[in-house]
């Protein structure tokens, strides 16, 4: 009997320990407990580096125009145009390199004097220790500047109450098709 109990509790620990080590527990009770422990939680810095593939052309675009005014959405600024995206994020600039997540949300041309986007999206991680966790970014993206800095304003899962900065720079842009590969560096503060 003692032996059985030992074996059972061992399995219990193993089963629980794997998901707990890799991702945050979900559900209202788990979130409440997480907040109760917050005063003792340590802040940590996590750095990300990945490539974002914005595919607007071809048979399988991952960015599609969902709204545009018939008056102002003209080159070179396209003021008022809005695209919904589900762009893949990969470890390298090659579109076939390992996928780490998706950028899901929308962007719209929001400046009447230069081509600049309002970015409203979630980075949804689909691999490794961040699988299932998200970071939310809201910022201004003047596409033709070398470095664009955008705030990371929150997150879910292991990134609850996260804050950070994303820096984007375009590493490849096809002016004919409009497809782009953008390098992202993200520095984010969150809790252990
Ligand atoms: C834009 O659409 C509105 C509403 O359909 C229409 O009244 C207007 O004439 C259009 N303007 C142009 C420049 O096509
Ligand atoms: C990526 O993979 C697809 C299908 O496997 C292939 O057709 C394409 O040429 C590859 N692209 C690159 C840049 O290697
Ligand atoms: C990520 O999590 C999903 C859902 O929990 C699971 O189906 C998937 O296999 C996981 N992927 C990896 C690479 O761990
Ligand atoms: C750029 O896009 C055009 C139009 O889709 C395509 O014909 C061309 O091959 C692309 N250039 C590169 C370098 O991929």
Kind and range of the H or E run holding 2: helix 2-22
Question: Is there an atom of ligand 3 within 6 Å of 22 CB?
Answer: no
- Whether pLDDT at 14 is above 90: no
Average pLDDT over residues 134-161: 97
Question: Is there an atom of ligand 1 within 6 Å of 80 CB?
Answer: no
Ligand nearest to the CA of 95: 2
Average pLDDT over residues 28-42: 95
Q: Specify the ligand 4 atom closest to the Cα of 174.
A: 1
Q: Specify the ligand 2 atom closest to the Cα of 95.
A: 13
Average pLDDT over residues 131-142: 97
Residue count of the chain: 192
- Whether pLDDT at 15 is above 90: no
CA gap 123, 102 in Å, rounded: 6
The average confidence (pLDDT) of the chain is 89
Give the Å distance between the CA of 60 and the centre of ligand 2.
Answer: 14
Q: Is 84 exposed, middle or buried (0-12, 13-18, 19+ CB in 10 A)?
A: middle
CA gap 63, 59 in Å, rounded: 12
Residue nearest to atom 10 of ligand 1 (CA): 70
Distance of CA 24 to the CA centre of its chain: 17
pLDDT in tens, 66-124: 999 999 888 889 999 999 999 999 999 999 999 999 999 999 999 999 999 999 999 99
Domains, in order of start, for the chain: 24-191 (2.40.480.10)
DSSP symbol at 71: T
Q: How confident is the model at residue 18 (pLDDT cuts 50, 70, 90)?
A: very low
**pTM for the full predicted model:** 0.86
- Whether pLDDT at 1 is above 70: no
Distance of CA 35 to the CA centre of its chain: 23
Q: Which of 1-5, 45-49, 107-111, 171-175 has the lowest mean pLDDT?
A: 1-5
CB 55 within 8 A of CB 88: no
């Amino acid at each position: 009997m003692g032996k059985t109990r030992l074996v059972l509790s061992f399995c219990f620990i193993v089963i629980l320990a794997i998901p707990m080590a890799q991702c945050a527990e979900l559900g209202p009770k788990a979130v409440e407990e997480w907040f109760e422990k917050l005063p003792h939680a340590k802040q940590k810095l996590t750095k990300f580096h990945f490539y974002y593939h914005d595919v607007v052309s071809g048979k399988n675009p991952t960015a599609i125009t969902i709204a545009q005014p018939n008056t102002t959405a003209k080159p070179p600024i396209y003021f008022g145009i809005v695209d919904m995206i589900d762009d893949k994020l990969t470890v390298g600039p090659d579109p076939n390199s390992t996928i780490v997540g998706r950028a899901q949300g929308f962007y719209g041309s929001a400046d009447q004097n230069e081509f600049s986007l309002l970015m409203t999206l979630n980075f949804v991680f689909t691999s490794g220790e961040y699988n299932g966790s998200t970071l939310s970014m809201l910022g201004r993206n003047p596409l033709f500047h070398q470095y664009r800095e955008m705030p990371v304003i929150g997150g879910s899962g292991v990134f609850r109450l996260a804050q950070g900065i994303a820096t984007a720079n375009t590493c490849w842009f096809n002016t004919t098709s409009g497809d782009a590969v953008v390098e992202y560096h993200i520095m984010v503060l969150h809790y252990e």
